[in-house]
Amino acid sequence: MKSLPQNKAARAVASTSMVTNIALTLAKAAVGLLTGSTAVMADAAHSASDIFGTAVVLVGLRVGGSPPDKTHHYGHAKLESVAAKVVALVMLGTAAGLTLGAIAVLRSGQVEVPGHLAIWVTIISMVVKDRLYHYVIHASRRLESTVLQAEALNHRGDASASFAVLVGVVGAYLGYPILDPLAGILVAALIAHMGVRLYVQSVRQLIDEAPSEHVLAQIRQVVQSTAGAISVTEVKARMIGSLAMVDLKLCVNRFLTVEQGHHIASLAKQNILAQVPCVTNVLVHVNPCHHVQSLDEIPNCATCSKHDVLAESAGGTSVTNSISGTKSQEPPSRGGGP
């Protein structure tokens, strides 16, 4: 689960998006009605759907940041993915409505030529949305928030849509009025593309998709360079929102006591939490290594030899483990056992 300051920061970013979307919706709707531009009205409808989408994002962040309780032992982080899925569905619904509206205008043959005001409001919308995209995407990476990433992608889609609207409005103003409703259809296609992409991403997270191979390799290396760890036989991880929960099997010297094996597992867990930012929880299962025949024997199997190489090349401040005499990076104090 994200920390409370992170969650509050993410909600502040989403609130900025909400205020901006409300202002743009009112401006586009007023200009669309005054100029009769189908493309500008489509863009206004798009911004109106953004208001609902951002409201869903805010609810997802508020509820998703809640701590574990009696009915949700692993917290509520998946609600971020649920919120992102709802935003995607809103985008797809908006795209369908805009397409039907533009087709109706084309069939009627009554296409009005927009004025200068439609051009200016579209340019302003395009610039504002582009700046808002960079602001939100930077925040999503800093806060590691999937739902803010979804919001940022929505803003980028808005900027692209406004550019398409600008082309249609300018074309109509220059004597090609059919370009205005065609621009509305293009806007709908862009919105639909972003919606499908976002929907697929949120579904992948909801079905416990594993993190990237880079993250899994990083987890293995951190564990194998932990003092007393001989090898890692299995690493499983699943994404919950933007965070990962890890289960792994760790081999230690079979002549160690239960307390000593637990200590090694605790070191491995603390090292992972300290060195792999996206990991929120680790469950370590300790197995005895049958390649060793005594407490002081150095394992010689291929897996264990690989561990020795990683342990020797591990950087940072190191300490000597009283159990095995090997060296490992000293983990920070983060509490909790395996």
pTM: 0.62
In a domain, 334, yes or no: no
At 261, the amino acid letter reads G
226 and 170 co-located in one domain: no
Residue 218 predicted with pLDDT over 50: yes
Q: What is the mean pLDDT of the chain?
A: 78
CA distance readout (Å), 331 to 89, 273, 274: 43, 9, 7
The pLDDT of 288-293, averaged and rounded, is: 80
In a domain, 337, yes or no: no
274 and 147 co-located in one domain: no
Query: What are the tens digits of pLDDT across the range 262-282?
Result: 999 999 999 999 999 888 889
Structural domains of the chain, count: 2
Residue 289, helix vs strand vs coil: strand
For the domain that residue 280 is a member of, what is the CATH number? 3.30.70.1350
CA distance readout (Å), 217 to 154, 157, 268: 32, 34, 14
Residue 105: HSE in the Cβ half-sphere, 13 Å Cα cutoff: 23
- Which of 147, 176, 206 is a domain's end point? 206
Confidence at residue 327, expressed as pLDDT on a 0 to 100 scale: 35
182 and 223 co-located in one domain: no
Q: Which residues pair with 283 in a beta bridge?
A: 247
CB 20 within 8 A of CB 128: yes
- Which of 206, 229, 261 is a domain's end point? 206
The pLDDT of 41-69, averaged and rounded, is: 76
Confidence of residue 329 (pLDDT cuts 50, 70, 90): very low
140 and 194 co-located in one domain: yes
Query: What are the tens digits of pLDDT across the range 114-165?
Result: 778 888 988 999 899 999 999 999 988 887 777 788 788 878 878 877 887 8
- Which of 206, 233, 249 is a domain's end point? 206
171 and 269 co-located in one domain: no
In a domain, 140, yes or no: yes
Confidence at residue 332, expressed as pLDDT on a 0 to 100 scale: 40
323 and 237 co-located in one domain: yes
Which residues span the domain enclosing 269?
A: 213-329
Q: Which two three-digit tokens encode residue 75?
A: 């917290």
Which of 287, 230, 233 lies closest to 258 in space, CA to CA?
287
202 and 274 co-located in one domain: no
227 and 175 co-located in one domain: no
92 and 180 co-located in one domain: yes
For the domain that residue 128 is a member of, what is the CATH number? 1.20.1510.10
What is the Cα–Cα distance from 45 to 36, expressed in whole angstroms? Answer: 14
